[in-house]
């Protein structure tokens, strides 16, 4: 088991390197001059040259890449152009809020998806299944920037039961978590349904029923336990996407997380900060995928990379 | 097809809405009751009236006209992105799968893995942010990222099809590799690509709206449903119609393409039923 963990960890390293290099490439190789963009159209050539020198952008690409990589290894993501603060500190301050939101959204989607996914599978083809199918398709098609404002309109403005925005207690977390987790709940529900449909046809389920176990025990203790294995992968992959999707949700609810910081940095043309935020979200995505793979091998010992 | 559509009501609804949407996108300039940039300040934030059935925004612009022109933008982005990334993906993925060997390893291991190592929307945001806003840049950024999905699909299909007997037969009678690829393999992998295209169309419309919502996509004064939603967010208290109508337009569009994609899959591969 340990050697599998280590091998999987080693396989992640090249991906991490590719991601870091791609983020570096994005800022340095795409057309357009970040310094000219930062200073605006009215800037003189001297001003552009001075800032370029201050930021180290007049050095060779290889040299800049070396400085950038050595900084990352030391956990130093540079200084923000905007307020001369350490990018690492800014990110670390906002990171917990994003994780809190992502975890809450995942919990919401699991709580919703498992029971409804099971009901949909058990009642296959009946009206309950069709209704759940339509709702889940609606959930997949409802982007968070539509769902968020509609929830604010209904629950905060019309009913006045939940706060509109900001981070605080649990009440502040409900609307952003539903907004972010809505689509994930829909995807997971479809996955649970599909997986359960496979499982309830298996011989061991028939055996469990033949032993006289109650339907609840057969479904939840036997079929669901196996049916959840592929669902874990989807959840893991989606959890990473959730972190990226948090960017929009955080903007809607003025949630002080990493996503909002990313957009603020982009709008302020603060490239080191934007670069650091994007890199952090991408690395978190990779780590979550790695954790999912490892968890998958624990849940289903047949999975190995031999 | 007619029989299938008669039985599958969701697919039929999807097809009707997509048809209407395409028509309104094509004929938007003639269907719009007002110029979408006209600022009627006396009507600002006004709800639906007979003169302005979907109300006016914070600058008094007619929301119906803006939604109609927004449909044109959405469909243009969706169709261009799907077409270009579909062609690039099928050609690159198909070629890699057909020739195999080191080229295939390079495309799958290096190119696919690097582009798929990022969560999709993050890379879109990053690319658009660094390229700058604008319709053409947005399309470029989406194509750069989206061809991989088509390439993966095409590669998998080519790997399956190239071992079939009719390909061997074509090779035996002396057909060139190019002829085999274009005349024999491509027509046999096109079905799953079409299904993917329909689903990708929904995703492209959503991606454009998401980026415009964040202020990174279409630049004003060109109307975009995403940007309209972002404007409406600041007026949830006093003008909720600014959010409600663009939301309905966007969700209906995305749902229709999803319905159509699901139905196409069922129609082309009845095992999924």
* Highest mean pLDDT: which range of A236-240, A290-294, B245-249, B260-264: B245-249
Q: A205-238 burial, b if ≥16 CB within 10 A, otherwise e?
A: beebeeeeeeeeebbeebbbebbbebbbbbbbbb
Question: Which chain A residues are Cβ-neighbours of B131 within 8 angstroms?
Answer: 30-32
Per-residue pLDDT at A269: 74
Q: Check pLDDT > 80 for residue B272.
A: no
Question: Which chain A residues are Cβ-neighbours of B113 within 8 angstroms?
Answer: 15, 18
Instruction: Return the residue of A nearest to B258 by Cα.
Output: A141
Is the CB of B13 inside 8 Å of chain A's CB atoms? no
The arithmetic mean of pLDDT across residues A107-135, rounded, is 89
Indicate yes or no: CB of B229 within 8 angstroms of CB of A146. Answer: yes
The three-state DSSP-derived secondary structure of B203-259 is HHHHHHHHHHHCCCCCCCCCCCHHHHHHHHHCCCCCCCHHHHHHHHHHHHHHHHHHH
Residues in A lying within 8 Å of B, measured between beta carbons: 15, 18-19, 22-23, 26-27, 30-32, 34, 37, 137-138, 140-143, 145-146, 149-150, 152-153, 157, 164, 240-241, 243-245, 247-248, 251-252, 262-263, 266-267, 274, 278, 281-282, 285-286
Q: How far apart are CA A218 and CA A144, in angstroms?
A: 36
Question: Which chain A residues are Cβ-neighbours of B209 within 8 angstroms?
Answer: 143, 145
Indicate yes or no: CB of A286 within 8 angstroms of CB of B117. Answer: yes
Per-residue pLDDT at A94: 93
Assigned token pair, A44 = 């003189």
Tens digits of residue pLDDT in A160-190: 888 888 888 889 999 999 999 998 899 889 8
Identity of the residue in B114, B209, B259 whose CB atom sits nearest the CB atom of A22: B114
pLDDT band, residue A100 (cuts 50/70/90): very high
Per-residue pLDDT at A284: 86
Do residues B92 and B110 lie in contact, with contact meaning Cβ atoms separated by under 8 Å? no
Assigned token pair, B185 = 């393999």
Tens digits of residue pLDDT in B115-143: 777 777 778 888 887 777 788 888 998 99
Is the CB of B125 inside 8 Å of chain A's CB atoms? yes
Phi, psi angles (nearest 5°) of residue A86: -70, 130
Identity of the residue in B113, B210, B236 whose CB atom sits nearest the CB atom of A145: B210
Question: Which chain B residues are Cβ-neighbours of A140 within 8 angstroms?
Answer: 258
Tens digits of residue pLDDT in B149-182: 899 899 988 988 888 888 889 889 988 888 998 8
Identity of the residue in B127, B236, B251 whose CB atom sits nearest the CB atom of A142: B251
Is the CB of B19 inside 8 Å of chain A's CB atoms? no
Identity of the residue in B113, B213, B258 whose CB atom sits nearest the CB atom of A145: B213
Per-residue pLDDT at A303: 61
Tens digits of residue pLDDT in A43-87: 788 888 888 887 777 888 888 889 888 988 888 888 887 777 899
* Distant-in-sequence, close-in-space partners of A247: CB < 8 Å, separation ≥ 6: A259, A260, A262, A263, A281, B121, B122, B125, B214
Q: How far apart are CA B260 and CA B263, in angstroms?
A: 5
pLDDT band, residue B273 (cuts 50/70/90): very low
pLDDT band, residue A30 (cuts 50/70/90): low
Per-residue pLDDT at B1: 64
Output the CA angle A75-B123-A48, nearest 5 degrees. Answer: 70
Is the CB of B273 inside 8 Å of chain A's CB atoms? no
Indicate yes or no: CB of B259 within 8 angstroms of CB of A137. Answer: yes
Tens digits of residue pLDDT in B1-54: 677 777 777 778 888 888 898 898 888 888 888 888 888 888 888 888 898 889
Q: Check pLDDT > 80 for residue A215.
A: yes
Please tell me the least confidently modeled range out of A239-248, B56-65, B158-167: A239-248
Per-residue pLDDT at A22: 81
Q: pTM for the complete prediction?
A: 0.83
Quote the ipTM score.
0.79
* Highest mean pLDDT: which range of A244-248, A294-298, B73-77, B219-223: B73-77
pLDDT band, residue A32 (cuts 50/70/90): low
Q: How far apart are CA B254 and CA A140, in angstroms?
A: 9
Per-residue pLDDT at A140: 81
The arithmetic mean of pLDDT across residues B224-234, rounded, is 89
Q: How far apart are CA A173 and CA A179, in angstroms?
A: 10
The arithmetic mean of pLDDT across residues B227-254, rounded, is 89
Per-residue pLDDT at A29: 64
The arithmetic mean of pLDDT across residues B240-260, rounded, is 89
Question: Which chain A residues are Cβ-neighbours of B229 within 8 angstroms?
Answer: 145-146, 149
Per-residue pLDDT at A239: 74
Q: B45-65 burial, b if ≥16 CB within 10 A, otherwise e?
A: ebeeeeebebbbbbbbbbbbb
Per-residue pLDDT at A31: 59
Identity of the residue in B130, B214, B243 whose CB atom sits nearest the CB atom of A251: B214
- Closest-CA distance, B157 to chain A, in angstroms, reads 23
Higher pLDDT, A152 or B273: A152
- Closest-CA distance, A146 to chain B, in angstroms, reads 6
Q: How far apart are CA A298 and CA B2, in angstroms?
A: 49
Q: Check pLDDT > 50 for residue A152.
A: yes
Tens digits of residue pLDDT in B61-93: 999 999 999 999 999 999 999 999 999 999 999
Indicate yes or no: CB of B258 within 8 angstroms of CB of A23. Answer: no
Question: Which chain A residues are Cβ-neighbours of B117 within 8 angstroms?
Answer: 15, 18-19, 22, 282, 285-286
Instruction: Return the residue of A nearest to B253 by Cα.
Output: A141
Per-residue pLDDT at B111: 79
Question: Which chain A residues are Cβ-neighbours of B233 within 8 angstroms?
Answer: 149, 252
């Amino acid at each position: 088991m340990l050697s599998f963990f280590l091998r999987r960890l080693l396989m992640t390293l090249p991906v991490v390197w590719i991601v870091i290099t791609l983020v570096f490439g994005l800022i340095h190789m795409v057309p357009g001059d970040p310094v000219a963009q930062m200073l605006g159209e009215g800037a003189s050539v001297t001003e552009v040259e001075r800032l370029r020198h201050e930021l180290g952008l007049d050095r060779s690409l290889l040299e800049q890449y070396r400085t950038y990589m050595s900084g990352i290894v030391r956990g130093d993501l540079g200084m923000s152009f905007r307020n001369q603060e350490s990018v690492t500190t800014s990110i670390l301050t906002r990171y917990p809020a994003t994780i809190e939101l992502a975890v809450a959204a995942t919990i919401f989607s699991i709580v919703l998806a498992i029971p409804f996914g099971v009901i949909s599978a058990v009642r296959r083809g009946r009206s309950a299944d069709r209704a759940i199918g339509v709702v889940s398709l609606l959930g997949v098609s409802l982007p968070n920037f539509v769902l968020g404002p509609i929830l604010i309109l209904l629950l905060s403005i019309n009913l006045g039961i939940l706060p509109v925005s900001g981070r605080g207690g649990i009440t502040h977390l409900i609307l952003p978590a539903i907004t972010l987790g809505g689509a994930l709940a829909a995807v997971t529900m479809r996955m649970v349904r599909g997986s359960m449909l496979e499982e309830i046809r298996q011989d061991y389920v028939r055996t469990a029923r033949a032993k006289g176990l109650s339907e609840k025990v057969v479904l939840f203790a036997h079929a669901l336990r196996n049916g959840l294995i592929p669902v874990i992968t989807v959840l893991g992959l989606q959890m990473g996407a959730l972190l990226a999707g948090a960017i929009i949700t955080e903007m809607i609810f003025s949630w002080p997380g990493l996503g909002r910081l990313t957009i603020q940095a982009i709008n302020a043309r603060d490239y080191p900060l934007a670069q650091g935020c994007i890199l952090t979200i991408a690395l978190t995505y990779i780590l979550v995928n790695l954790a999912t793979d490892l968890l998958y091998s624990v849940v289903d010992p047949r999975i190995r990379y031999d | 097809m007619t029989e299938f559509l008669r039985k599958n009501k969701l697919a039929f609804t999807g097809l009707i809405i997509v048809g209407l949407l395409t028509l309104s996108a094509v004929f938007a300039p003639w269907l719009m009751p007002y110029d979408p940039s006209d600022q009627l300040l006396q009507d600002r934030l006004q709800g639906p009236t007979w003169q302005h059935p979907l109300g006016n925004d914070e600058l008094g612009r007619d929301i119906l006209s803006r939604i109609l022109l927004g449909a044109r933008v959405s469909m243009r982005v969706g169709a261009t992105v799907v077409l270009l990334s579909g062609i690039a993906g099928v050609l690159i993925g198909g070629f890699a799968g057909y020739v195999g060997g080191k080229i295939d390893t390079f495309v799958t291991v290096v190119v696919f893995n690097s582009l798929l190592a990022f969560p999709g929307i993050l890379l879109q945001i990053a690319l658009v942010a660094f390229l700058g806003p604008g319709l053409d840049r947005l399309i470029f950024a989406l194509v750069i990222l989206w061809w991989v999905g088509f390439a993966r699909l095409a590669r998998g299909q080519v790997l399956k099809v190239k071992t079939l007997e009719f390909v061997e037969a074509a090779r035996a009678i002396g057909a060139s590799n190019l002829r085999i690829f274009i005349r024999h393999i491509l027509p046999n992998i096109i079905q799953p690509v079409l299904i993917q295209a329909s689903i990708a169309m929904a995703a492209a419309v959503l991606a454009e709206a998401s980026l415009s919502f964040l202020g990174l996509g279409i630049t004003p004064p060109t109307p975009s449903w995403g940007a309209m939603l972002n404007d409406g967010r600041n007026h949830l208290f006093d003008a909720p119609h600014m959010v409600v109508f663009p939301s309905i337009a966007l969700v209906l569009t995305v749902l229709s393409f999803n319905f159509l994609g699901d139905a196409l899959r069922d129609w082309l591969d009845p095992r999924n039923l």
